[in-house]
Amino acid sequence: MEGLARLIAEKPAVDNDRLAHVLGRSTPGTILGSVESMRSTYKANARVVAIAGLYDRGLGEARKLRLG
């Protein structure tokens, strides 16, 4: 939840419908696995970067959040 809140705070123009769709397709285990694999590189930002990575997947460069 913290990562999601920080993402929305840092990127208020995020497409909420897309974010809900992407998160709805992901399991908590998938998201947590991504966070754990990113923790050594991104430290406290791993949660935000993992969610942004899910959001960015499949988007054109101009529409990506560019967090990680």
* Model confidence band, residue 68 (pLDDT cutoffs 50, 70, 90): low
Mean pLDDT within 30-55: 92
* Model confidence band, residue 65 (pLDDT cutoffs 50, 70, 90): confident
Q: Is the pLDDT of residue 21 over 90?
A: yes
Contact call for residues 48 and 7 (beta carbons, < 8 A) = yes
**CB contact burial 4-30 (16+ within 10 A = b; e otherwise):** eebbeeebeeeeeeebeebeeeeeeee
Mean pLDDT within 41-45: 92
Query: Looking only at Cα atoms, what is the longest distance across the chain?
Result: 30
Q: What is the mean pLDDT of the chain?
A: 90
Task: Please state the pTM of the whole predicted model.
Answer: 0.81
